[in-house]
Amino acid sequence: MTVSKFTLPDVGEGLTEAEIVEWKVAPGDTVTINQVLVEIETAKSLVELPSPFVGVVGEILVPAGTTVDVGTPIITIRSDAASDAAAAPGADVPAPIREAADAAADVANTITEDGSAAVLVGRGAAATMPTRRKRHSGARVAHESMAPPAAASARPAATPLPQQVPGAPVGPVFAKPPIRKLAKDLGVDLSQVTPTGPIGDVTREDVLREATQVSVFRNIETPEWPADREERIPVKGVRKAIAQAMVKSAFTAPHVSLFVDVDATRTMEFVKRLKASTDFAGVRVSPLLIMAKAMIWAVRRNPTVNSTFTDDEVIIRHYVNLGIAAATPRGLIVPNIKEAQDMSLLELASALERLTIIARDGKTSPAEMAGGTITITNIGVFGMDTGTPILNAGEAGIVALGTIKQKPWVVDGEVRVRYVTTIGASFDHRVVDGDVASRFLADVASIIEEPALLLE
């Protein structure tokens, strides 16, 4: 019988330590290759570590709640006789078993010749992240950018977008009283919800799908004061990483901020048409989608905002890894959509939805948060008009989308009720001059005012 020690791996991005959050196995349990052993929290995300061994759990060396360095042994696994036979040179075993054993050896966490820990990433070599998952009733994440995703559905062939007349009356909404109360509590306008019930009625899932993250943050009930006069929370994990990144950004890059009020009425009309289109069936569509596309378009016209400053040079990226600031129970994270400049509107909507699913599950990997070039923060879902966002470290621009609400607005010399929002942006003034920043923000605003410009 062989006893193997599983050491804490570097799951990417130069990890040096991590906290053991929850053990998924106990001493005496039988484990197989790629079975999840433990959930750890790095400075950026929660990661499930798969087993590179087949055998029986011997001893858990590090209890949950402990922070340990990469390379520290955290669990032992005893291999049985069959496993030893499979691993023995020349053993007469079926090819699939030997291939699995070889794969396990490849990803086993050993100390390499240079003294560094071998890298084991995510859920194991055979695992993939689904783009959609079954909805459950557990705790939900509040995401600064998006509401809970729509249920998956097949998309029929494309049809022309239906024409809608702005200001046309909305038909009756069919919903049971409990559903109406839920919508009221979550701040959902039932007239904006696409019903999926058997008689064309709005269901609970429809309301939850439409609900924005501000609903999660809204204090529907006022709790009692806790018995303890003070609560002390250790600064570690994501909170520690956030603090370090914000301090570095705020006191390294000289920020300059600009703001502009925008008539977003046509964006709201466009969003309604997209929701009614069969091409976008089953995909979450929101004004953030138009904002994302507007930023990509404006970056192409003003590439300096999509750069990073070093002591020796300014690096201008001719691609967009679009960061979406996400507020989760674990803190602020900024995953990004890779190569967003090459995506169609539908592809971008699907990518935003997938990003939300992963963030809500707390499974955003370090790789998905690395390499961002410019960021959006959607503070409008919290009912905020605008703000002065701090740059994501290593980026030269960040845009804040404020709440979109009806206000009086002058159109052709007449005061009318329009959907209005305020867009704020911050830039690294070492790289982005005032004229470039102004042109970029004006370009973004022009798309929000007239999305048809995206057809250029």
Q: Which residues are known catalytic residues?
A: 429
Q: Which residues contact 219 (CB under 8 A, 6 or more apart)?
A: none
Helix (H, G, I), strand (E, B) or coil at 316: strand
Amino acid letter at 264? A
Q: Both tokens of residue 52?
A: 């590179």
CA distance 48 to 244: 25
Angle at 279 between CA 355 and CA 192, to 5 degrees: 75
CA distance 399 to 417: 26
Q: Both tokens of residue 197?
A: 């019930």
Q: Which residues contact 132 (CB under 8 A, 6 or more apart)?
A: 149, 151, 152, 357
102-117 burial, b for 16+ CB within 10 Å, e for fewer?
ebbeebbbeeeeeeeb
Q: Both tokens of residue 146?
A: 């998006």
Q: Are strands 17-23 and 67-69 parallel, antiparallel or unpaired?
A: antiparallel
Q: How many helices (H) and strands (E) does the chain have?
A: 11, 19
Q: Which residues contact 433 (CB under 8 A, 6 or more apart)?
A: 304
Q: Which residues contact 95 (CB under 8 A, 6 or more apart)?
A: none
Contact assessment for residue 216 and residue 146, using Cβ atoms and an 8 Å cutoff: no
Q: Which residues contact 63 (CB under 8 A, 6 or more apart)?
A: 20
Contact assessment for residue 336 and residue 368, using Cβ atoms and an 8 Å cutoff: yes
The pair phi, psi for residue 290, each rounded to 5°, is -70, -40
Look at residues 38, 44, 42 and name the one whose alpha carbon lies nearest to residue 10.
42
CA distance 126 to 367: 17
Q: Both tokens of residue 345?
A: 């509107």
CA distance 84 to 146: 50
CA distance 370 to 145: 18
The pair phi, psi for residue 57, each rounded to 5°, is -65, 125
